[in-house]
Structures are given as structure tokens and as C-alpha cells.
Structure 1
């Protein structure tokens, strides 16, 4: 007999014993651990031994006759499946509590045999399937099934046989959509009703007013529509009312004022309107959240007298008038967010009177006056955001040095004075945003002691003096904006130690001296703007090693040669306004003289020697070519040194590749190498990336003195990363790598050739064409599938880290390929989601978490892909002047999500009207991909699914075709 059969036999035997004798409770309980295990310490089952009385078992209670009446194993780290037949064989069982575990399997109909139960808790588990019909549980008073993993249709009809229910909690399950269950309205003893997030739709019935004993009513995260019924005012015992994330409309009904016992009220994320006057009577409110609605009028002054209120969240409404002066004065006030309204008046001074306040968020209003001095002593504050108001005066000195604050946001006010040395005490400060004010004086050297700073923006003020020379001590700094001030002196040499920095803007100041060569060694610098200063000297060759999406050195006093690797189309205009610069390739600059100090005779002699050398090279090349053709000459030493590693079946030799690496075949130039188009003898086209690594070994020995070392190391690293990543990839939407060819001097990567260039070219440059919507859509889906393969097609996810439209190439049929894996990284799986600690990417595509953490994962690729989707829908670049200062396409799209008209206005005008709704579907996916918090972004697998559901309507295509042919 098998082990399984023996176990089954024992269980059935025990059931028979229990049923026939009534004394088998010990055997029943001892059988439960056969299908349920606990990882708790101590293990509750360690006390379940045959020699003990069941009444002494952990989790068991008995009546005076020794019969088991209660089985409570909640929060005991249980896993496995519950045998409800076995459990319900306990004849006197009245209370069954298994909540907050990881139990799975189905909840069988045998549960109905527990006919004496008055308490049942299966919530917060991982059960599957639907909940059974259990009309026999007539004694039940407490039913907790919330977040239990159940799905399907819930048997609301069973509630008719449970008239004594006091608590009904079945929310957070994936039930089939249904209207509000009318059966609930007959449970007149209910005091706890939790139906949040369980697919209820339609209106709240007026009959809700019958449940007058309700203390807690939660209907959040459903699809409830219509108005809040007047009868809600009958629920005068309510302590908590949760209605958030529905589609409720209308005003608060007149009866709301009767809910005077209400302490927690949340109706945020609806379409409610009208004023808040009905709430002025709810004097016991502790928490009030009404954000993201359409409320208007003033905030009732009575709120200032609420003695229990600690949490007020009213952001993104249309509220006007002042905040109550005494708001938060009476209790340990914690949180206020009234941002994005039209409030006026002053910031209430006493919200931190009890010393517990954590967040003060009043940005984007019309508040005036000074920042109250009381907040300078509010040591508990973690977020202080008052930007985009009309505030004046000096910032209270102590505010700069609050020990727990992680963001100070004062942007776009009329604040004066300076940043004081107190900022050295702000050890938790990660983001300092004070742009667009009237600040003046020096930026104190002590700012370098605020060791957590990741983002500094002091632009558009009146700061003077020198930039702090010790700024390099800020090892987490990723963004530095000091543009449009009056800073003078040298660019801090120590800035080259900020290895996390990706964005530097020092434009329009009075900086002088040279550009520090150390900036060229910054590993993730992506944007560098030093324009409109008095910077002199030459452009450091070390800048050639950077992968910059924005470089602006214009309008300075630079002299000498523009480095050849920076003389590319992407940097057009980057060097204008520097009459002392010269170039060998940029026609708008004077041509460089190789040796300006030499005499005319010496220059003539050098020219002659150069011509002779060129002629000699031509002759040698011709001879070499003839020798190869006639196979009469041995291969040269350099040719013998090439090492070929093939990753696919090759139809060419390395000679064909090497002979094609010449200027006339150059089709692209970038920080990681030149790209050539190669046409084979058989007519097939290839793309070859050529990366020089000459003298790398010597440069490594001269680490301390050679400024170009960073370029060498970076290119070697990128080459290795690209080969490692692409060599094993086989996917139709990822560019094919045929082979690598390496020598001591340089490295070659041979790819398939994509004749239609990049998506960036087709959308934004002189090569752009009018892409119809269907082509754009299929590019989006194909690119998404390529990224999905990278993230989910391997045992270890491949993180691209530089997803952008210029890295999506198009074949002859406009099918997309993901390309350029120079920054790719294979994530290491070690028991959880690992991440990369190297910040990389391109300005405009970089996910916001790069600004506050080193730890990023594949959700950062999802963000970048969301930006690409926005490009496809809008036709805009990620960074456009029309977006405003320090704004990108994600900010711009977010600002337009107000009306249908403003949303439709974002769609590229080249997309026909009939496809605009389809484009909006893709834009919706893009918005989800660019969520600020990584855990709110979908995985690429979900992105593909959402895009496939947004396929353009075939009927529309037929109509258009008929219309074009004149037959519609």
C-alpha cells in the first residue's frame, strides 16, 4: 500500500472513530498537521502530542466538558491545505480562526458541516476557487474572508441564512463583478461591513440606511457609480467610512452632518463635487482624505477647531480661500496635503505645535506671507513642500537643518535671504529644490556635510560667490542645477568625485577658469551644460569618454581644438560662441592648424612628408589588395592577430569586414565607437561597430596621469557587456550579433544591418517620415516583445539600462529591433530581486528612482520604454523647450490629463482622427509605465498584453481603405 493510501486510510479511520464514538477529538487534531505545516517559532504543533489533553494544545480551547470549541491557529505561519471534513468532525467547534497564514487549496463545501460555528476567519490566505454555498452556518456572527485568494461568483444568497451576522468582511478578492448585494441590507445587526476591492459595481442602494448599527463601512476600490445616497445620514454610529477609488459623483448629501461619531473618512479618487460644508459638523474626525476630486469652495473654518484631526489630505481639487488659522493646534498633528488647489492666505503656524508633524505639503496654491518660524523647530518633519506659491521673506534659519527632513521644496516663490550653514545638520536631506526665488549670497561650504543629498536645484536665483569647493564629498549626488545665478570662480575640481552624478547644469553664471578634466571620468554623467559663462582653456579630451545626451559649452572663452569624438551631429550648437575654438570637421568653425607655432617652411615640409606618406599608404594598400587577390602574399602580422568568435553561421570572412572599415562606409559615430555599413560580395549588408582600445595596457599602468584612461576602460567594459548579452539572444525583436572580431588594438562587433535607421531618426530628425498609426503601433508592440524577452526569457533577467528611441532600429519592413547593449547588465537572482548599483541611461529617459537610490531593476527599463511610447503617440522628443524649465515629456503628459480635449491635443497631428482613440490607449499604457514608484509600473509581460489589447480597430482600417479608393 502506498504512503498516500496509508495516510488516506488513517484519516478515514479517524473520521469513523470520531463519528461513532464521539471521543475521537484527539485523533482528529493529531491528523491536522499531516496536511498543514508551520514555520513559526515556536511551532504551535510541538505541543500537539498524543499523551496530552487536546485542551492543552496551543490554539485549542475546550468547554467545561472537555470538548473542543475553538481552533485558533491564526498568524502561525501555516502552509498547506485544510481538510475541512476533518476540522468539521469536531462536534462542538464554535470558533475557527485560520487567518493571516499562507494556506492554499479550495474551501470545500464540507465547511458547512461546522454547523455550530459563530466565528469563522479564513482571511489573508492563498485559497483558490470560489467560496461554497454554506446555508447551514445559521449561527454565524463573524465571517472574515478578506484577502483570502478566492475568486468566482460569491454566494451572496447564503447570507439570508445568517441573520445574526455582526461582521462581514469579504473584500480584496477577485470575485466576478456584481451589483451591490441586496442580501446584505437584511443583516440588521451588522456593525462591520468590509466590501472593498471585490468587484462591486453600480450604485449604493438607499437601503444602506437600514444598517443603523454599522460602525465600519468600507466600499473602496470598486466600480461604484452615482451619488452617495441621502440615507447614509442614518448611520449615526459610523466610526469609519471608506469610499475611495470609485466613480462616485454629485455632492455630499445633507444627512452627512449626522455622522458625528465618524473619525476616519476617505472618499478620495472619485468625481465628487460641491463644497465641504456638510463636514463642518464632524468634530470627531481624526483622518480626512478627499484628494483627487472636484470639490470647490472654501475649507470650513470649523476644521481649525477639530480637537482630534491629525491627517488632512485634500490635494488636487478646486478649493479656494484660506486654511483655518488654528488647524492642527489641538492634537499631535501628523500630515497635511492640500496641494494643487487655489488656496490663499497664510500657512497655519501651529500644525507642529505638539511636535509630531511629519509632512507639510501645500505646493501649487496661491498662499502668501512668510513661512512661519515655528517650523524651524519641527524636528519630526520629513517632507516640507511649499513650492509654486506666493511666499515671501526669509526662510527660518533652523528649517535648513532639520535632522529628519528628506525633501525641502521651496521652488517658484518670492523667498529671499540665503541658505544658512545650518544645512550641515540636515543629515537625511536627499532633495533640495529652491529654484526660481530671490535667494542671494553664497551657497555655504557646509552644504557638503548634508551627506544624503542626491538632488540640488538652486537655479534662477541671485546667488553669488564661489561654488562650494568641497561639493565632491556628496557621494550620492545625482543632479546639480545652479544655472541662472551669479556664481563666479572655478568649477569645483572635487565635482569629479561625485560618481553618482548624471545631470549638471551651471549655465548663465560668471564661472571662469578651465573645465576640470576629472569630469570626463564621471561614469554616469548624461547631461552637461556649462554655457554662458567665462570659462577658458581647452576642452578636455577626457569628455570624449562620456555618453552625453546633452552637451552645451556655448558662449564661453574656450580655445583650441574641439575633440574629434565630440564633433558629431548630436552636439551641433554645443560649442557656438567660442571664437577661439577650431575644428577639423565642423565647417562653422575655423579649421585647426596642426602646429600654429611652426614656421611656414617647416609647415610646408610637413605637408610634403604627409603627402608622401599618404601616397606610400595607397601604394602599399594597392599591393596588399593585389597580393590577396592573387594569393601570392602571406598574411601580415596584424591580420594574424585577429580573433574571431562567431555566434551564428557566417557567410563572410574577417577580411571582408576589415577591408570595409574605411571613412566612406561610416554611417554613425558615438561615444562607444564608430559604426560602418559593410556590403559583402554576395550583396548582403552588415553593420560593424568599431571600438579602438589601443594602448589600454599602457594606460592602465599610467592610471594617475592619463586623462583618456576612462574612455579606454569604458569601451572595453561596454564591449564585454554587449558581447555577453547579445551572443546568446535569439529573438526577432532584438538585433542579431553575428560575431566579434578582436585584436590588441581594437574590437569589432558585426550585426545585421537595419536600413531604416532608428525610431528617433524617423520621428525627430531630418530623416523623419510620416509614420502612420498602425506602423507606430506595431513598432511599439515589437519593441515591447523584445524587452519582454530580455526581462522574462532568461533564468536571469537582462537589464538594458539605455532604452530609448535611438536604440530601437527598424528593418526594411519597419519591424523594430532593440539595439545597443553597451550598458546592459544581467541581474543576479539571490533569493529576491537584485538590482544594479550603476546609474546609466539617457537624459529624458532616466527613471526617477535614479535620483534617490542606487538600487534599480528592470522596472527602470519599463519607465524608459514608457517614454518611447509617449514619443510614438505625441511625436515629441523627451525634452522639448515647450515643456518648460526642468520638465520632460512625462511631466508634460501628466499636466495635460485634465479633460478629454486636452488629452486628445497631445496626439501627434499626423495621426488621423479615426486612430486617436487607439493612440490614447497606448498613451494610457505609457502613463502606467512611467509611474513615479517602480512597484506601480507593470512588468514588460503585462505591457505587451496591454498593448496587444490596444490594437487598432480593423473596421477603421477597412473604412479608411474604402475612403482612399473612393468606394466608401
Structure 2
């Protein structure tokens, strides 16, 4: 073969190989793009725009969050904290053969994870933490290349596959905390992972002793084993971990003393063994000069605080409360670094308060209550503008408070109780714009309470008991609308009780006992709807007890030892205790063993006068009533019985109607009344065709009297207490365009010159509240409860995601979830609803709406959900044993909906998806009624 032909043949061969490589490479790229697009297609969240670049036209290596290697193969997926929701398709992701990093933490993924994760054999980095997965963690043993594994707060439960962890010998980072795994002893498999530099196993139900062999993990820089059920002593093996920078063992049941070898941990910056059963002194810690945070609280440590702590150059956080420490605090403590807080409360410490803890201007909390400190409050803290909480109560401190303390701009609590402080509260307190709690009880403060205190609009509690304050209570105190508790007892206040006190609408407790107050009890106090306790005893009050106090829902009333006269209102006698009215010779009552009977003579005379007046009044009333009835029959609505059917009525229909307004109006009679209140009445209407309606009659001008007295009856719609006219407009605006089987149907509104009628479908089983709490309570099995929960969630999902303009209900509660004849739920009472305008975010509102009253203890529930057994104990005992596991899963979903960080809360769309994951088997074959069926007109011929 000639050289030319050979050269040509070679070129042809190279061309073919190049072409084949290009074809194969292009095919590989196309495959990888399809794998990623398949992963995207399963996601259900539409809030994020991060995946907009993921399309058929874009090279996979140019997808947002994707990093490729030099061969243009997907190497990394970085999509953490992107609000992605849905199940994870690991079949697609693990088909990316060069994938080394998968970072999907802090999203909204849910559902179980299949074992196909094990196909990701090249993975070195896997982060699925802070999600909402369910079920068990899959087998991890094939991931032998893994160096980083984070599953904390991921939602996984059941037994953890500890054996598979033992194969991951290359791991340097392991985070499995905050999951409800089954109880297990400390996993010995971890002790073989010698490359670990960070371990987070807090709050994952580990129990028993920490093994001595923990000391073999000599590369560890961070070891967190808190919030478990660990027992025994801190092993000496931990003292071998000389690279440790963080050691957290808090909230366990550890005993014994701190091991001597802790002095070896010279790199330690964060040390927390709080809330255990440890004892002994802490002198071993004096060598740890790199400490930034030292938490020893809630143990039984004793002895003195090492003076060396005062030389720690980096210390920012120091908390040792609830121990048995003695001696003085180091004078220089907290003066070197940007000190943030100190809490040495509930010990036996003596000496002076160190003066320089706010030297760097960063101190936020100074908490030293219940010790034996002496001397004064150092002048240096008068300029500590960063201070939020100042608590030095129950010590032996004395002298005057530096003036600047009273006006600190960020201080929310000043607690100086049970000391020997003296002097006056200056007018500058009016500048403390963040102050919510002022506790000065049991000191020697004197002088008048400055009127400027009324400028502190944030005040919630004032506690001045047991001082020497004098003068009048500021008349402007009524400006403190957030004030909840006022305790001014055992002082020398004089003058009248300010009438404006009745304007402090949030008041729960008033105690003005043991002063020299005079004049009459203000009738305005009767308007304090939240008032629980009223103590005005031991003053010089005169006059009669205002009848307005009878409307209060008091648990305590004490008006003893005053100069009050007249008859005690009968309703107040019902809440009084023995002696509530003693020491008032001028008071009388009928049927009270503690008060004299009201004079029979005067009583009879009074009865005669009353009878005469009643006779005259009766005649006048009879005449006026006859005239009034005639007028009403001709032109006006009788607000007790029927509605005026005359005049002009305008009908706005939102569904096809087969009834007339006249049929509605004729039914609005007294016998059909099922609810009554401040904005109108609610009637049940039986149509000729056999169907039923609920009609809410709302007056355009508020009626003269009455608040809702109906007890959550089985009415289809029960108006909110003391409803106001804007609620009508909100309800019509919200409901008129809604079409969903889990939202109550508004057929039409019928309006006249002075009235409005809202016509709804009737819900014969009343509200969920009725069925859970009232005398209409019934036993509901888990299947019924589940259907109610998911139905309500589907209704909210429709409001948030299914409407052209999202609707925020803002008053979701059990009494606003109504039940039809089949116990299917429908959301009702949209009087507080808000329609989000197009183009505006719907993640917040500027007004806090809703109903005052019960607040679910969600954070307490979170704290109680440490083990599966704990979670089961929270479930209603009436739920059958077989269904408790499903109930626990639903409880977990509820807790996720109440996360402190709004970004971690799932959308209603995701809530529905998660609830569908825990559907009881009984309902798997039920076909949910199509939404369109909800549009069928009523009473078709």
C-alpha cells in the first residue's frame, strides 16, 4: 500500500472514530438531560424559578444548580434551600454515572426513599436534611465513596441501618440528628469511622453509655450527642479528642464529675453539658482559654468559679444557672470579647456584679437573679444600649439605679425585684420604647410614678408591689393598650382610680390593694372583657359597687376593707370568696353569710316604689309597643321575628337558583331561628322541594342589643361573635366565585335598603367543634377524622393555589369547619378572608386576624416528640390502637406546619400530598367526587 493510500485510510479511520465519539458523547449528554428533566417533572412546587433553565433547548451542564466535569458529565447537583417539593426520583438521579454530589437539603421533599439510592455508587456528598421524608432510611452500604452524609431533620423514622454506616469508612461528616428513629444504644459502627471530623447525632433516640472507644475518633472537631437518653459518666476517652472545637452533650442523663482530662481539649470553643445530673467543681475547665460559649446550667455543680474565666479572651456566652456555685464572679469576666449574655441565676454567688460585661457594647442579657450579690448596679450599664433583658432580682443589692438604665432603647425587661434599691423612677422611662415588663416589687422605691410611663406603649406588665410609691396613679395610664397586669399593691398611692384604666383593653389582672386610693370605683372597669382578677382591697374607696362589674368574667374579686355602700350585685356574689366584701359596713346582700341582709323595711319600701314605677312604665310600654307594632308591620323589619317582605329586594345569584326570594323571606320566622347575634340572625329554611338552606340575615346598621347567644348549634353558618358590617362584604367577595366541594356554597345574596341575606347550603352535622367538644359530641373513628382533615386541607389548597386570586381565610378553626350529612367537611365563615391581589405576594398580611382564645401548644408538642412512644402518647386515646401510627404521622405533618421559620412550613398543596401518603387503607378505592359535581343547581325540576 502506498503512503498516500495509507494516509488516506488513516484519516478515514480517525474520522469514523471521531464521528462515533461525537455521536456517543452527544447521546450521553442527551440522556443526562432527560434524566434531569424527568426528575424535574415529578416536582410539584411552582413557587421557585430555579428550574426555569431546565429545558430541552439548554445543555445539561448549563442547568441551574448543575456542575459538570471535564467530560461534560453531571458531577454535582446543588439545589439546597430552593423550596422544591415533591417526591424524589432516585432512579433518574442515580442514572447520572459521574454524579459525586447531591445537595437537596432544606427543601420540601416528602414520601419514602427507595433503595435505588444505592445505585449512586460514586456519590461522595449526600445532603437530604431538613425535608419531610417518611419511612425508613434506605440501605446506604453501597455508597462506599461517601464522605459527607446529612439526613438531619429529614423526617425519616423507624430503625436506622447502622450496619450500613460501618461500610462508609471514608466518611468525614455525619449528621443524622432530629429524627424519630427507633431507640438504640450508641452505634458501635460509628467507632470504626476514623476519618470523621464532625458527628451530629443529637435528638435521634440514642440511649445508654457513651463508649470509651469514642476516643479513637481522633480526627473529630465537632461531637454533638445532645437531647438523647445517654446515661453514666462522661467517658475519659473523650479527653483524647484533642482536635475538638465543639462538644455538646446537653439534655441527657449524664452523671458524675467532669473528667480531669478535659483540660487537654485546648482547642475547645463551644462546650455544653447543660441539663444533666453532673456534679463537682469545674476547675478542670480553667485551661480552656479558647472557649467562646460555656453552658453548664441545670446540673449540680458546686465550688467557686475559676478566676481564670475572667481572662478568657474569646468568651461570649456564659450560662451556669440552677447549680450550687459559691464565691464571687471573676471581676473581668466578659470584658474581652463581644460578650452576648451571662446567666448565673439560682446559685449562691456573692460579691459585686462585674462592671465591664458590656464593655464592647454587645451585651444583650444580664441575668443574675436569685443569688447573694451585694453592692449596687454598676454605672457602666447605663450606656449599654444593646441590653434586652436585665434581671437581678432576689439578691441583696442596694443603692440607686443609674438613670440611663430606665431609658435603654432596646431593653424589654427590667427586673429588680426583692432587693434594697431606693430612689425614684425618673421621667426618662418614657424613652424606653421597647420595655414590656417592669418588675420593681419589694424594694424601697419612692416618689410619684411619672406620667411619662404612659408613653411606653409596649408595656405589658407593671409590678411595683411593696415599695413606697406615693401620689396619684397617672391619669393617662389608659394609653397603655397592651397592658395585661397592673400590680401596685402595698404602696402609698392616693387619689382616685383613673377612669382611663378602663381603656386598657388587654388587662387580665388589676391589684391596687393596700394603698390610700379614694373616690368611687370607675364604672369603666366593667368594659374590660379580659379581666380575670380585680383586687381593690384595703383602700378608702366610697360609693356603690358599679353594676357594670357584673359583666366581667372574674375568677377573683376582693373589694374588702373600703367604705363602699349599697347592695352587692348578685352576679359578683357568685365569684366572690369568703371576705371579698368584708370591712365595708355600708354593703349589704341577700343570701350572703358574710354580709348583712339588706334592710327589709327599705327593701319593702323599695319594692312598693318599684311596683308603682313598674305599673306606670308597663302602661307606657304597652301603649308604645302597640304603636310600634303597627309601624313595624307597615314598614320596618321586626328584628326579633319575621323579616319585612315588602319593599324592593335585589338578588345577586352565584349559582343556578330554583327558588325565589319570596320563598326565602316567608321562612325567616321565629320558629326557624337557629342563631342570633350582634349582626343579625341565622335561619334554617326548608324548601318545598325538600332541600334545606341556611340564611344569614345581616343588618346594615348594627342592632341595639344582644351578642350571639346560640351555642354553636347545627346551623350551616354561624356568624362570628360581634360581627361587623365589613364581614358581609368580605364574605360575599370571597365566597361568590369559589367552587369547591370543601368550601361552603353561597347560592346568592338578597339585599334591601337596610338588610342583607346570605343564602348558603345547609350543613346538618354542624361544626367540627360541635362533634368534638359540645353536648353534640360523637365518637369518630380514625377514618372519619382523616377524611375531615384531608378534606379541610383540600379546601385550603384550593383557596391558596386553585383560585385566580389566592384567598386567605385567616380564621381557620374547628368551629369554622362544617360537616354535611356524610361528615364531609366544608370551610365556612369567610368574614375575615382576604383576597390577594394579582402580582402581590401572599406570604404575609399586615393585620393579625382570627379569633382570640385557645392557642394550640405546638412547641410543647415538638418537645414531647422525642420517641415514637412519646408521640403515640400525644394521640387522642379514643383513636383505635391500629390507627395510632397513622395518627402519629399526621401529627408530624401538623408540627411541620408550625415550624418557627416560615420558609420551612409546607404549602397547602404539599400538605395535601403528605396527607395522601398516610391515607388509611379503607379509603384507597374510594373515588373522590369531581369538583364539577359541586356546581349542580339546587332543587332542579
> 1:941/1:223 Cα in 2 relative to 1: closer, same or farther (>3 Å)?
closer
What secondary structure does 1:581 align onto? strand
Alignment correspondent of 1:218: 224
Instruction: Verify: 1:109 aligned to 2:115, yes or no.
Output: yes
Give 1:6-25 correspondences, 5 Å limit. 24-25=31-32
Alpha-carbon separation, structure 1, partners of 2:769 and 2:472: 54
Alpha-carbon separation, structure 1, partners of 2:282 and 2:576: 54
Alignment correspondent of 1:192: 198
Q: Assess if the C-alpha contact under 8 Å between 2:335 and 2:356 holds in 1.
A: yes
Alpha-carbon separation, structure 2, partners of 1:482 and 1:605: 41
> 1:19/1:347 Cα in 2 relative to 1: closer, same or farther (>3 Å)?
same
The worse-fitting range, judged by mean Cα deviation, of 270-279 and 136-145 is 136-145
Alpha-carbon separation, structure 2, partners of 1:612 and 1:519: 30
Q: Deviations over 1:860-908 (max 9, x none)?
A: 6x79xxxxxxxxxxxxxxxxxxxxxxxxxxxxxxxxxxxxxxxxxxxxx
Alpha-carbon separation, structure 1, partners of 2:366 and 2:614: 75
- Residue 492 of structure 1: how far off its partner (Å): 1.0
Alignment correspondent of 1:497: 503
Alignment correspondent of 1:447: 453
What secondary structure does 1:188 align onto? coil
Q: Deviations over 1:796-846 (max 9, x none)?
A: 76689xxxxxxxxxxxxxxxxxxxxxxxx99978899999989xxxxxxxx
What secondary structure does 2:707 align onto? helix
> 1:517/1:165 Cα in 2 relative to 1: closer, same or farther (>3 Å)?
same
Q: Assess if the C-alpha contact under 8 Å between 2:320 and 2:343 holds in 1.
A: yes
Q: Assess if the C-alpha contact under 8 Å between 1:268 and 1:289 holds in 2.
A: yes
Give 1:686-701 correspondences, 5 Å limit. none
Alignment correspondent of 1:859: 855
Alignment correspondent of 1:55: 61
Instruction: Verify: 1:266 aligned to 2:272, yes or no.
Output: yes
1:374 to 365, 380, 388: 380
Alpha-carbon separation, structure 2, partners of 1:336 and 1:161: 44
- Residue 568 of structure 1: how far off its partner (Å): 3.7
Q: Assess if the C-alpha contact under 8 Å between 2:244 and 2:267 holds in 1.
A: yes
Q: Assess if the C-alpha contact under 8 Å between 1:115 and 1:138 holds in 2.
A: yes
Q: TM-score with structure 1 length normalisation?
A: 0.65
**RMSD over equivalenced CA pairs, Å:** 4.4
- Residue 37 of structure 1: how far off its partner (Å): 5.0
> 1:506/1:721 Cα in 2 relative to 1: closer, same or farther (>3 Å)?
farther
Alpha-carbon separation, structure 2, partners of 1:930 and 1:555: 48
What secondary structure does 1:416 align onto? strand
Q: Assess if the C-alpha contact under 8 Å between 2:29 and 2:73 holds in 1.
A: no
Alignment correspondent of 2:709: 719
Q: Assess if the C-alpha contact under 8 Å between 2:367 and 2:391 holds in 1.
A: yes
- Residue 572 of structure 1: how far off its partner (Å): 4.4
Q: Assess if the C-alpha contact under 8 Å between 1:382 and 1:407 holds in 2.
A: yes
1:942 to 874, 892, 897: 874
Alignment correspondent of 2:182: 176
- Residue 567 of structure 1: how far off its partner (Å): 3.9
> 1:123/1:63 Cα in 2 relative to 1: closer, same or farther (>3 Å)?
same
2:33 to 14, 26, 50: 26
- Residue 241 of structure 1: how far off its partner (Å): 0.9
> 1:182/1:589 Cα in 2 relative to 1: closer, same or farther (>3 Å)?
closer
Alpha-carbon separation, structure 1, partners of 2:466 and 2:862: 28
Instruction: Verify: 1:130 aligned to 2:62, yes or no.
Output: no
- Residue 266 of structure 1: how far off its partner (Å): 1.2
Q: Assess if the C-alpha contact under 8 Å between 1:488 and 1:511 holds in 2.
A: yes
Q: Deviations over 1:82-113 (max 9, x none)?
A: 22222222222222222221122332222222
What secondary structure does 1:255 align onto? helix
Instruction: Verify: 1:468 aligned to 2:474, yes or no.
Output: yes
What secondary structure does 2:237 align onto? helix
> 1:569/1:481 Cα in 2 relative to 1: closer, same or farther (>3 Å)?
closer
Q: Deviations over 1:368-415 (max 9, x none)?
A: 111111111111111111111111111111111111111111111111
Alpha-carbon separation, structure 2, partners of 1:321 and 1:265: 22
Q: Assess if the C-alpha contact under 8 Å between 2:118 and 2:140 holds in 1.
A: yes
Give 1:618-637 correspondences, 5 Å limit. none
Alpha-carbon separation, structure 1, partners of 2:143 and 2:766: 63
1:365 to 371, 388, 393: 371
Alpha-carbon separation, structure 1, partners of 2:472 and 2:528: 22
Alignment correspondent of 2:904: none
- Residue 592 of structure 1: how far off its partner (Å): 4.1
2:146 to 140, 147, 150: 140
2:168 to 162, 167, 172: 162
Alignment correspondent of 1:203: 209
Alpha-carbon separation, structure 2, partners of 1:264 and 1:477: 40
Alignment correspondent of 2:887: none
- Give the paired residue count: 696
- Residue 733 of structure 1: how far off its partner (Å): 7.9
Q: Assess if the C-alpha contact under 8 Å between 1:835 and 1:856 holds in 2.
A: no
Alignment correspondent of 2:258: 252
Alignment correspondent of 2:42: 35
Greater RCO (Cα-Cα under 8 Å, separation 6 or more): 2
- Residue 564 of structure 1: how far off its partner (Å): 3.9
Give 1:339-488 correspondences, 5 Å limit. 339-488=345-494
What secondary structure does 2:454 align onto? helix
Q: Assess if the C-alpha contact under 8 Å between 1:828 and 1:834 holds in 2.
A: no
Alpha-carbon separation, structure 2, partners of 1:141 and 1:931: 31
Q: Assess if the C-alpha contact under 8 Å between 2:555 and 2:575 holds in 1.
A: no
What secondary structure does 1:470 align onto? helix
Instruction: Verify: 1:579 aligned to 2:585, yes or no.
Output: yes
- Residue 503 of structure 1: how far off its partner (Å): 0.9
2:247 to 241, 259, 268: 241
> 1:35/1:856 Cα in 2 relative to 1: closer, same or farther (>3 Å)?
same
Q: TM-score with structure 2 length normalisation?
A: 0.67
> 1:200/1:433 Cα in 2 relative to 1: closer, same or farther (>3 Å)?
same
Alpha-carbon separation, structure 1, partners of 2:301 and 2:51: 55
Alpha-carbon separation, structure 2, partners of 1:308 and 1:455: 36
Alignment correspondent of 1:657: none
Alpha-carbon separation, structure 2, partners of 1:526 and 1:487: 23
2:326 to 304, 320, 324: 320
The worse-fitting range, judged by mean Cα deviation, of 270-279 and 153-162 is 153-162
Instruction: Verify: 1:231 aligned to 2:237, yes or no.
Output: yes
Alpha-carbon separation, structure 1, partners of 2:65 and 2:308: 49
Instruction: Verify: 1:562 aligned to 2:494, yes or no.
Output: no
> 1:19/1:163 Cα in 2 relative to 1: closer, same or farther (>3 Å)?
farther
Give 1:949-968 correspondences, 5 Å limit. none
What secondary structure does 1:24 align onto? helix
- Residue 640 of structure 1: how far off its partner (Å): 10
What secondary structure does 1:496 align onto? helix
Q: Assess if the C-alpha contact under 8 Å between 1:104 and 1:126 holds in 2.
A: yes
The worse-fitting range, judged by mean Cα deviation, of 603-612 and 479-488 is 603-612
> 1:799/1:175 Cα in 2 relative to 1: closer, same or farther (>3 Å)?
closer
Q: Which runs of 5+ in 2 are unaligned?
A: 1-23, 620-637, 643-668, 676-700, 721-764, 793-810, 816-828, 835-841, 865-869, 882-941
What secondary structure does 2:548 align onto? helix
Q: Which runs of 5+ in 1 are unaligned?
A: 1-16, 618-636, 649-697, 702-712, 738-751, 753-780, 801-824, 839-853, 864-926, 933-937, 950-968
Alpha-carbon separation, structure 1, partners of 2:367 and 2:76: 49
